[in-house]
Amino acid sequence: MSDLGFFASDISGALPDLRSLAESLMRDKVRVTREGEPVTDADGFVTAANEVVYEGSAKWQSPSGWQRSQVGESDTATGGLELHLPFDASAGVHIGDVVECTASLDPALVGRRFGVADEFTKTLATARRFRVEVVGR
Domains, in order of start, for the chain: 3-136 (2.40.10.270)
Contact 91, 122 (CB under 8 A): no
Q: Which residues contact 107 (CB under 8 A, 6 or more apart)?
A: none
pTM given for the model? 0.77
Task: Find, among 134, 94, 97, 93, the residue nearest to 113 by Cα.
Answer: 134
Q: What is the DSSP letter of 103?
A: E
Q: What would the pLDDT profile of 69-123 be if each residue is shown by its tens digit?
A: 566 665 554 557 999 999 999 999 999 999 999 999 999 999 999 999 999 988 8
State the pLDDT at residue 12: 80
pLDDT-derived band at 18, boundaries 50, 70, 90: very high
Contact 34, 50 (CB under 8 A): yes
Phi, psi of 32 (to 5 degrees): -110, 125
Contact 67, 75 (CB under 8 A): no
Q: How many CB atoms lie within 10 A of CB 18?
A: 15
